Amino acid sequence: MPEKLEEVLTGERLAALERTLDLLVKLDEMGVLETVGDVLEPDTLRYLFKYLMHPGLLKVADRLDVILDALGRVDYEAVNKNIDLVNKALKSVPEEAEPVGLGGLLGALRDPDVQRGLGFLVAFLKALGKSLAEEKEPGKA
Amino acid sequence: MAKEKVVILGGGGGGAILANLLPQDRFEVTVVDKSEYHVFLPGFLWVAFKGQPKEKFRRPIKSLLKPGVNFVHDEVVGVDLNERTVHLKGGGKLGYDYVVFATGAPLDFDAVPGHRELVERFGDFYSTLENAEKLHRTLASMREGRFVIAIADPIYKCPPGPHKGTFLSYELFKRLGVADKVKVVLAVPYPHVYSSKTIADVIEPELEARGIETHTFFTVDSIDLEKHKIYSLEGEELDFTVAAVVAPHTGPQYKVEPGNVKDDSGYIKIDKYTSQVVGFDDAYAIGDCTNAPTSKSGVTAHLQAEVVAKRLQGFDARYSGRTNCPLITDGKGLFVISDYDHPPIPVRLSGLKRFLEELFVATYWSAIKYPELWDPIFEAYFEASAPEVFLRYGGW
Ligand SMILES: Cc1cc2nc3c(=O)[nH]c(=O)nc-3n(C[C@H](O)[C@H](O)[C@H](O)COP(=O)(O)OP(=O)(O)OC[C@H]3O[C@@H](n4cnc5c(N)ncnc54)[C@H](O)[C@@H]3O)c2cc1C
């Protein structure tokens, strides 16, 4: 162990110490030091980590590579354009939808809203089928 | 009120944390260890396979204990639970109100013929930092041949330890540019490459992809250093150029009165939830020296230390048998997560888990010294990743 202050405070350390002290003064003036001191309590940490360490978050964090890969390829313009549509439709689905048989289906088809929805679905199915075919044999569809 | 005297035998992973957790206004805490140094055993892997300096993984026990905790540097040679007395090699005796066994699981190099000579020649990655350093020198000079990792008894510290050694040695040979000339071989006593089939299924393709040779149902029985052969109890033999064999572990070697608190293998018999030594309400045992039916791991020692610290303060606390043993490859890692009620849950190898393992290693000394900082973090982690929780999420 060095005995004297001069042995501890080499030129390099003195420069670093001066910068650290300036930084500490700034943090103190802004009240950061006092606030950090107040927040650093075992119970605050306990609740913070309890909140952060959600099993879902651990799972998401573990698959961040997979998720980012998928998210990076999403067409956000298309999502943005259709998101209100999907939200509205999801919200208006009744808690328990009535079961529909073949007869009921024929009746429902007379409803213009169902007709519009079906039109959307058919267009969507066509596009889905096309990309499925393309995935199987690229360039064919 | 007079302080209660707690004597902790061993200042390793379990003992040091327990000593730092006990409030000093209630307890007078004494740690006894035959070594002046606390050794971070997982560091053996970093020394043996990454060539890191051994000093990084050992610290004076005194420097890890909170001011106010007494440290006695002496060897425990006997404990009389009826007389409440700990006998020391130096001739001294310690009385106590509570005693906690935390002396770990020493290795027995005489159980397997030829083992002592093998370690003297090549070193190993399970016994000491010096032997880990020696193994690194041995491996770094290998240019061809077979490096065999094998196991002499299915009960050993950190069940994925040999597997970590396997992956890390492959990585070392790759860095040295001899991975195509040195064959890495892993021989295990169980029916699959890992004792749990769930975990074996995850790592088998990884071993295969690296061209690592594996052998199952291979329990080391004897070693012939001259013929360069390892023989198994099951009647097989394996050739090696260099080999590292995990030695059989034992319970405390010192005498404990009454003798029946040790089981047939010499481990201290405890209640698996409370860590209380059977038949004594003033004696506990934690970590590798107990007969608890869970993995011998640092996580076990740590969680049992927390349970004992709480119980000594009059709170009800129980250890669930939770394990979190890491298994790492060059770029990815997984944790073997289980408890008394759940076998290992499905997990995948991932970059996050590899990073977390590196973080655990880097923050080890801090976790021992400042349990009040780390406990909220560990508590939240172990709660969120409990087997019954993660099973609802289809694993981790
Ligand atoms: C290669 C390897 C990798 C590992 N990796 C991991 C991992 O990744 N994660 C994990 O959780 N665990 C891991 N472990 C296991 C972990 O290190 C141990 O389970 C843990 O150290 C057990 O703690 P303990 O306090 O019971 O014993 P130890 O840490 O072994 O401490 C025992 C102490 O008792 C002292 N002692 C022994 N006998 C006497 C005596 N007669 N008198 C006085 N003092 C005595 C010793 O000197 C020592 O200091 C690994 C182990 C190895 C070998």
For the CA of B298, the nearest atom of ligand 1: 11
**Which residues in chain A are contacts of B396 at CB distance < 8 A?**
58-59, 62
**CB distance from A1 to chain B under 8 Å?**
no
User: Which token pair is B283?
Assistant: 């004696």
Mutate to test the interface with A, among B352, B382, B393 (most CBs of A within 10 A): B352
Mutate to test the interface with A, among B379, B382, B391, B392 (most CBs of A within 10 A): B379
pLDDT at A61 over 60: yes
Cβ-nearest to B389 among A55, A61, A64: A55
Q: What type of residue sits at position A5? A: L
Mutate to test the interface with B, among A48, A54, A58, A63 (most CBs of B within 10 A): A58
Torsion sign, CA atoms B194, B199, B205, B207: negative
pLDDT tens, A76-96?
999 999 999 889 988 988 888
The per-residue pLDDT for A26 is 97
pLDDT tens, A1-21?
667 888 888 889 999 999 999
Q: What is the largest CA-CA distance in chain A?
A: 97
The per-residue pLDDT for A53 is 93
Average pLDDT over chain A reads 91
- Tell me how crowded residue B219 is: count the other CB atoms within 10 A of its CB: 18
**For B384, nearest residue in chain A (alpha carbons):** A55
**For B335, nearest residue in chain A (alpha carbons):** A62
Contacts of B113 (CB under 8 A, 6+ apart): B222, B223
Q: Are B389 and B373 in contact (CB under 8 A)?
A: no
The per-residue pLDDT for A140 is 59
Choose which residue among B158, B284, B295 to substitute to test ligand 1 binding: the one with the highest number of ligand atoms within 8 A of its C-beta.
B158
**Which residues in chain B are contacts of A61 at CB distance < 8 A?**
352
DSSP state of B315: -
Q: Mind listing the domains of chain B with CATH numbers?
A: 4-40+59-106+250-319 (3.50.50.60), 115-246 (3.50.50.60), 322-396 (no CATH)
Q: How far is B159 from chain A (nearest CA, A)?
A: 23
**CB distance from B390 to chain A under 8 Å?**
yes
Tell me which residues have their CB closer than 6 angstroms to ligand 1: B 9-15, 32-35, 38, 41-42, 44-45, 75-76, 102-104, 125-126, 157-158, 161, 254, 287-289, 296-299, 301, 325-326
Q: What are phi and psi of A63, to 5 degrees?
A: -105, 20
Q: Are B395 and B348 in contact (CB under 8 A)?
A: yes
The per-residue pLDDT for A89 is 87
**CB distance from A42 to chain B under 8 Å?**
yes
The per-residue pLDDT for A96 is 86
The per-residue pLDDT for A2 is 64
**CB distance from B335 to chain A under 8 Å?**
no
> Distance between CA A56 and CA B140 in Å, rounded?
43
> Distance between CA A129 and CA B289 in Å, rounded?
63
pTM of structure: 0.91
The per-residue pLDDT for B48 is 98
The per-residue pLDDT for A136 is 86
Whole-number Å distance, alpha carbon B288 to ligand 1 midpoint, is: 7
Q: Complex ipTM, two decimals?
A: 0.82
CA distances from A99 to A95, A102, A110, B75 (A): 13, 10, 17, 77
Confidence of residue A138 (pLDDT cuts 50, 70, 90): confident
R_g of chain A computed on alpha carbons: 31
Q: Are B360 and B354 in contact (CB under 8 A)?
A: no
Using the beta-carbon criterion (under 8 Å), do A55 and B380 form an inter-chain contact? no
Running along chain B, 396 residues long, what does each successive block of 10 average in pLDDT? 95 97 97 98 97 97 97 98 98 98 97 98 98 98 98 96 98 97 98 97 97 98 98 98 98 97 96 98 98 96 97 97 94 96 96 94 94 90 96 94
pLDDT at A141 over 80: no
The per-residue pLDDT for B55 is 96
Contacts of B20 (CB under 8 A, 6+ apart): B64, B65, B66, B69, B368, B369, B370, B371
pLDDT tens, B251-300?
999 999 999 999 999 999 999 999 999 999 999 999 999 999 999 999 99
The per-residue pLDDT for B91 is 96
Q: Which residue has the tokens 């992973």?
A: B13
Whole-number Å distance, alpha carbon B127 to ligand 1 midpoint, is: 10
Long-range own/partner contacts, residues B53-60 (CB < 8 A, 24 or more apart): B54/B129, B54/B130, B54/B132, B54/B133, B57/B129, B58/B129, B59/B365, B60/B36
